[in-house]
Amino acid sequence: MVSATILLLIPLLPALGALINGVRAAANPVTHKNRTITNAVALGSTGLSALLAAWTVITYVGGGMSSAYQHAYYTWIPAGLGHVGANGIASFAVDFAFRIDTLSCTMLLIVTWIGFLIHVYATGYMAHEEGYTRFFTYLNLFMFMMLLLVLGANYMVMFVGWEGVGLCSYLLIGFYYDKNFAADAGKKAFVANRIGDFGFVLGIFLIFNTFGTADYGKVFALASANPAAYAGIATTICVLLFVGACGKSAQIPLYVWLPDAMAGPTPVSALIHAATMVTAGVYMVVRSNVLFRLSPDAMLVVAVVGAVTAIFAATIGIAQNDIKKVLAYSTVSQLGFMFLAAGVGAFTAAIFHVMTHAFFKACLFLGAGSVIHGCGGEQDMRKMGGLRKYMPKTRMTMLIACIAIAGFPPLAGFFSKDEILATTFEHHGFLYFLGMVAATCTAFYMFRLYFMTFSGDYRAAHVEGHPESEPEHAGHDVIPSHPHLDDGDIHSDKAHGHHVEAHDPHESPWSMTGVLWVLAILAVIGGFVGIPEMFGGAHPTIFQRWLSPVLLPLGGERFEFPEASRMQEALLILSSVAVATLGWFIAFVLYKKDSAFARATRLRLRFAFLHRLLENKYYVDEFYNFVFVGGTLAFSRALSWFDAHIIDGIVNGVRHLTVILFGHGSSLFDKYVVDGAVNGVGYSARGGSRLFRKMQSGFVQNYALVMAGGIVLVAAVYLFTKP
Amino acid sequence: MPEAIPSTAAYLMLSGTLFAIGLVGVIIRRNMITVLMAVELMMNAVNINLVAFSHRFASLEGQVFTIFIITVAAGEAAVGLAIIIQLYRLKSTINVDEARSMNG
């Protein structure tokens, strides 16, 4: 039996860690001392929380997993009790409740264990940083919020976590807050997320208005018992929820914040912007699968947005030279795959891909962090190369993760991506085609990254003469795009401020490489829980059966996992391996066989326009900047002009009119009679006010004090003279 | 009805304390940003009052008001910060005592 106390402790321990470290960081913001205490608090709280999470999952599975375990700790929002609304909704009461079922178990294990590993890695990566304790405060706070998000038993608790992780993401992107690009990237993430959250919160309102509750169990029970009644409203609800997911999980059109979010320290990119937070949108869609399945239209929207994002981001990833930017666009693209899966009804494949992606993408990001760490803060892949010699452990683990994400069997990424593509093939031929192209691009840009970083010779010394940086075809120098973004492009981890002087790259400490190995091993074996029948698994796969309790029947009709014929399945697997090989082969020819990249340069010159388009990310940032930022500015200028010309004009016109109409005619009367009276009053007033003008000190706070005193006086008179 | 409604007095005391802290902050602090924060504190003390009474009388109106106030407060904070920035550009300081050209 799951223990409610232990369940509560899982999120509370990181919260406690954040509190302790937060107080310590506030008391002593820049110190390099007492790092042991910070480590003990941060690692201890997340480690213990991870152990408790494992224990909870074990007890839940041991208890037979017959039904979801739910525990309400207290009534969180007991608003409007006894108040019956027009539609018969009794009250707006929300419990602070946690829910354990197979879906939240999966997410719980991913979040706590990957989170713990990344905490360990960060102790090595951040060792030389100022604000060390502040960093771990934010990281622990993030763990708390993320755990609220996945454990919450209703949409409101999820929303608290949802906003909380957004806050932590903002704080950590802007961790180097004295650098403009980091502060701007943080703001951008916050604004883009706010747009999504607006949709999400409207979706929650609509759920409450329709079902009278925000509790998962009750909402889904109502919807699954009577699908026909809710099919109409479900489309609106799901589209609104999906807007929220677009913001959090960086889908078109709100994906623009995620690449810029790489301005944060690399462990943050791995934990928040690859493994956990950005998958919250996928989790939410899968959590709401009952509602989504009611509405084929909403499902189609999800699938199309996912597929288009997958290919859009993958093509951008091809032309990036910043190692973290490549990984960032790769993350956007992989998230697109997850939504594609959810949109075609392969909810288990979506969560499966969340899991495998957490393994290999965290490994890739942390490997990139290790590379950046070893190269003295350099992020430009054109200035790397040949790191195989210097960082053998990082190289091995990144190679494994590259193979996994490219989708070669039998690594984790193969099984999850194949399941997604196979299900897509069943439903939608064109989306399948998009997915296949995106998969080819994935294999290409991942191996391009690998070859540029680890093969050939180390290029940092003689980069000036390098063909890739000749000014006439380096799009960066030619295109004046807005400066802060470009600043963030290449120099972002210059803020990661150790070893600025040039010397040979070095391997990272064990705390970093050890974590890399754990993640690499997970990236190898993680896929076996979803092994299809073809390779000796079962139908449905272990992972599908594990998650099937979450996929409630609709109106008595059970959720069926599609089963393809052997022949079709074999062909699909062959073709997905073929596209992965194709991507690898192109990268091999362009970047490995030819270590001067002469072929790549020729190719780029041939397709200069296309390359520039991709390198500049289809100019979406410029477009948004022009339309939204420029639009807002133009609107406020228009208002300012309206104020200066129209409002002031009216006021001035009235004055002129008054002067013309009355001024001249009555000036004589005015001069002698009125002025005489007015001056008389004026003189007496001036005499009198000489006494009181000292009260008008100009100190606003004096006025506030007098006002407060007056209110106290009035209140006192009122209270004491009341009969 | 919930198990036991906590006494409204506790909420009112909290609200009163917060209000007093905010008022003192407004009166004694010289940094304009701190003053703005103190004003926010007073406003939230009022919000707590509204929510407490809303809970006491089991009606949603107070809470709806609170949501409105929070929304308006966001706008108010934006305007306040804009004023502070303009003042800083004008006087190169955000000390409230420097902004007293309206004295008599």
The complex's ipTM works out to 0.80
**Which residues in chain B are closer than 8 Å to A708, comparing Cβ atoms?**
23, 27
CA distance A645 to A633: 18
B103/chain A closest Cα distance in angstroms: 4
B52/chain A closest Cα distance in angstroms: 11
The answer to whether residue A367 scores a pLDDT higher than 90 is yes
> A623 and A540, same structural domain?
no
Quote the pLDDT of residue B8. Answer: 85
Q: Do B60 and A81 touch (CB under 8 A)?
A: no
- Whether residue A690 lies inside any domain: the answer is no
| DSSP 3-state of A129 | coil
Alpha-carbon distances, residue B13 vs B8, B17, B49 (angstroms): 9, 6, 9
DSSP track, A326-355: HHHHHHHHHHHHHHHHHHTT-HHHHHHHHH
Mean pLDDT value across residues A305-318: 94
> A184 and A309, same structural domain?
yes
The answer to whether residue A243 scores a pLDDT higher than 50 is yes
Radius of gyration of chain A (CA): 31
Quote the pLDDT of residue A80. Answer: 55
Mean pLDDT over the full length of chain B: 87
B30-95 topology per CATH: Helix Hairpins (1.10.287)
| Residue A433 burial (C-beta neighbours within 10 Å; 0-12, 13-18, 19+) | middle
CA distance A214 to A165: 20
Q: Do B100 and A705 touch (CB under 8 A)?
A: no
Quote the pLDDT of residue A473. Answer: 36
- Whether residue A677 lies inside any domain: the answer is no
Choose among A109, A590, A146: nearest CA to A582.
A590
pLDDT in tens, A619-664: 888 888 898 889 989 998 998 899 888 888 899 888 888 887 776 6
Taking a C-beta distance cutoff of 8 angstroms, is the pair A237, A203 a contact? Answer: yes
Interface of A with B (CB under 8 A): 75, 78-83, 92, 693-701, 704-705, 708
Please tell me which of A191-200, A205-214, A556-565 the model is most confident about, judged by mean pLDDT: A191-200
> A557 and A482, same structural domain?
yes
pLDDT in tens, B39-58: 999 999 999 999 888 888 87
Quote the pLDDT of residue A3. Answer: 87
The answer to whether residue A251 scores a pLDDT higher than 80 is yes
Question: Which residues are A78's β-sheet partners?
Answer: A93
CA distance A284 to A307: 18
What region does A372 belong to: left with phi over 0, alpha with psi -120 to 50, or beta? alpha
Q: What are phi and psi of A3, to 5 degrees?
A: -90, 125
B78/chain A closest Cα distance in angstroms: 14
Taking a C-beta distance cutoff of 8 angstroms, is the pair A100, A151 a contact? Answer: yes
> A587 and A635, same structural domain?
no
> Cis link prior to A410 (omega < 30° from 0)?
yes
- List all residues 6 or more positions away from A517 whose beta carbon is below 8 Å from its beta carbon: A393, A397
Model confidence at A666, in pLDDT bands (50, 70, 90)?
low
Which one of B5, B21, B26 would you mutate to disrupt binding with A, by most A Cβ within 10 Å of its Cβ? B26
B25/chain A closest Cα distance in angstroms: 10
Mean pLDDT over the full length of chain A: 86
Model confidence at A79, in pLDDT bands (50, 70, 90)?
low
Long-range contact set of residues B12-20: C-beta below 8 Å, sequence gap at least 24:
B12/B49, B12/B52, B14/B48, B15/B45, B15/B46, B15/B48, B15/B49, B15/B52, B16/B45, B17/B45, B18/B42, B18/B44, B18/B45, B18/B48, B19/B45, B19/B46
**Which residues in chain A are closer than 8 Å to B102, comparing Cβ atoms?**
696, 698
The answer to whether residue A485 scores a pLDDT higher than 80 is no
B91/chain A closest Cα distance in angstroms: 15
The answer to whether residue A479 scores a pLDDT higher than 70 is no
Of B1, B99, B101, the CB nearest to A82: B1
Of A80, A695, A698, the CB nearest to B60: A80
The pair of structure tokens assigned to A719 is: 């209270």
Choose among B6, B12, B4, B1: nearest CA to B62.
B12
Residue with tokens 């998000």: A149
Q: How many helices (H) and strands (E) does chain B have?
A: 3, 0
CA distance A616 to A489: 11
Sequence length of chain B is 104
Q: Between A and B, how many CB-CB pairs are < 8 A?
A: 53
Residue spans of alpha helices (H) in A67-131 = 102-109, 115-125
> A625 and A610, same structural domain?
no
The answer to whether residue A290 scores a pLDDT higher than 80 is yes
User: What is the residue type of A380?
Assistant: D
DSSP track, A34-64: -HHHHHHHHHHHHHHHHHHHHHHHHHHHHTT
3-state secondary structure A229-260: HHHHHHHHHHHHHHHHHHHHCCCCCCCCHHHH
Mean pLDDT value across residues A348-364: 94
Taking a C-beta distance cutoff of 8 angstroms, is the pair A270, A202 a contact? Answer: no
**Which residues in chain B are closer than 8 Å to A695, comparing Cβ atoms?**
104
Quote the pLDDT of residue A301. Answer: 95
Quote the pLDDT of residue A682. Answer: 81
CA distance A414 to A406: 7
Owning domain of residue A550: 174-615
Residue with tokens 């004096």: A702
Quote the pLDDT of residue A490. Answer: 40
Quote the pLDDT of residue A499. Answer: 44
Quote the pLDDT of residue A88. Answer: 52
Taking a C-beta distance cutoff of 8 angstroms, is the pair A346, A472 a contact? Answer: no
- List all residues 6 or more positions away from A155 whose beta carbon is below 8 Å from its beta carbon: A204, A207, A208, A214, A216
| DSSP 3-state of B23 | helix
Nearest CA in chain B to A75: B2
Query: A498 or A692: whose pLDDT is higher?
Result: A692
The answer to whether residue A90 scores a pLDDT higher than 70 is no
Model confidence at A552, in pLDDT bands (50, 70, 90)?
confident
pLDDT in tens, A392-437: 999 999 999 999 999 998 899 999 999 999 999 988 889 999 999 9
Of B2, B99, B103, the CB nearest to A81: B2
**Which residues in chain B are closer than 8 Å to A700, comparing Cβ atoms?**
96, 99-100
- Whether residue A672 lies inside any domain: the answer is no
Query: A614 or A148: whose pLDDT is higher?
Result: A148
User: What is the residue type of B37?
Assistant: M
- Whether residue A151 lies inside any domain: the answer is yes
Please tell me which of A210-214, A336-340, A568-572 the model is most confident about, judged by mean pLDDT: A336-340
> A265 and A206, same structural domain?
yes
> Cis link prior to A723 (omega < 30° from 0)?
no
Choose among A361, A163, A372, A190: nearest CA to A265.
A372
Taking a C-beta distance cutoff of 8 angstroms, is the pair A274, A324 a contact? Answer: no
The pair of structure tokens assigned to A287 is: 């959590």
Neighbours of A503 (CB within 10 A): 9
> A610 and A624, same structural domain?
no
Q: Where a domain ends, among A114, A147, A168?
A: A168
Mean pLDDT value across residues A283-293: 94
Model confidence at A267, in pLDDT bands (50, 70, 90)?
very high
What region does A179 belong to: left with phi over 0, alpha with psi -120 to 50, or beta? beta
| Residue A552 burial (C-beta neighbours within 10 Å; 0-12, 13-18, 19+) | middle
pLDDT in tens, A161-196: 999 999 999 999 999 988 899 999 999 999 999 999
Taking a C-beta distance cutoff of 8 angstroms, is the pair A260, A327 a contact? Answer: no
Mean pLDDT value across residues A347-364: 94
Q: Do A82 and B58 touch (CB under 8 A)?
A: yes
pLDDT in tens, A599-614: 888 888 888 888 888 8
Residue A405's H or E segment, with its range, is helix A392-406
Of A75, A82, A708, the CB nearest to B27: A708
Q: What are the extents of the domains in chain B?
A: 30-95
Taking a C-beta distance cutoff of 8 angstroms, is the pair A486, A370 a contact? Answer: no
**Which residues in chain A are closer than 8 Å to B35, comparing Cβ atoms?**
701
Choose among A73, A103, A92: nearest CA to A7.
A73
DSSP track, A464-514: TT-GGG-GGG-HHHH----HHHHHHHHHGGGGS-S--S-----PPPHHHHH
Q: Which of A5-14, A227-236, A355-364, A660-669 has the lowest mean pLDDT?
A: A660-669
Q: What are phi and psi of B10, to 5 degrees?
A: -60, -45
> A322 and A291, same structural domain?
yes
Q: Where a domain ends, among A584, A615, A646?
A: A615
Radius of gyration of chain B (CA): 17
Quote the pLDDT of residue A87. Answer: 52
> Cis link prior to A505 (omega < 30° from 0)?
no
Let me know the angle formed at the C-alpha of A450 by A447 and A454, rounded to the nearest 5 degrees. Answer: 150
Residue with tokens 């299809």: A532
Taking a C-beta distance cutoff of 8 angstroms, is the pair A159, A291 a contact? Answer: no
**Which residues in chain B are closer than 8 Å to A75, comparing Cβ atoms?**
2
CA distance A257 to A332: 10
Q: Do B59 and A83 touch (CB under 8 A)?
A: yes
> A633 and A588, same structural domain?
no
Q: Where a domain ends, among A168, A197, A228?
A: A168
**Which residues in chain A are closer than 8 Å to B26, comparing Cβ atoms?**
701, 704
**Which residues in chain B are closer than 8 Å to A705, comparing Cβ atoms?**
27
Question: Which residues are B31's β-sheet partners?
Answer: B95
- Whether residue A667 lies inside any domain: the answer is no
Q: How many domains does chain A have?
A: 3
Nearest CA in chain A to B24: A705
**Which residues in chain A are closer than 8 Å to B103, comparing Cβ atoms?**
696-699
Which one of A75, A699, A703 would you mutate to disrupt binding with B, by most B Cβ within 10 Å of its Cβ? A699
Q: What are phi and psi of A271, to 5 degrees?
A: -75, -55
Quote the pLDDT of residue A119. Answer: 94
Quote the pLDDT of residue A338. Answer: 95
Nearest CA in chain A to B19: A708
> A180 and A35, same structural domain?
no
Q: Do A696 and B63 touch (CB under 8 A)?
A: no
> A8 and A125, same structural domain?
yes
CA distance A545 to A565: 20
The answer to whether residue A481 scores a pLDDT higher than 60 is no
Q: At what angle do helices A132-151 and A102-109 cross, to 10 degrees?
A: 170
Distance, CA of B54 to chain centre: 19
3-state secondary structure A512-540: HHHHHHHHHHHHHHHHHHHCCHHHCCCCC
Please tell me which of A355-369, A447-461, A687-701 the model is most confident about, judged by mean pLDDT: A355-369
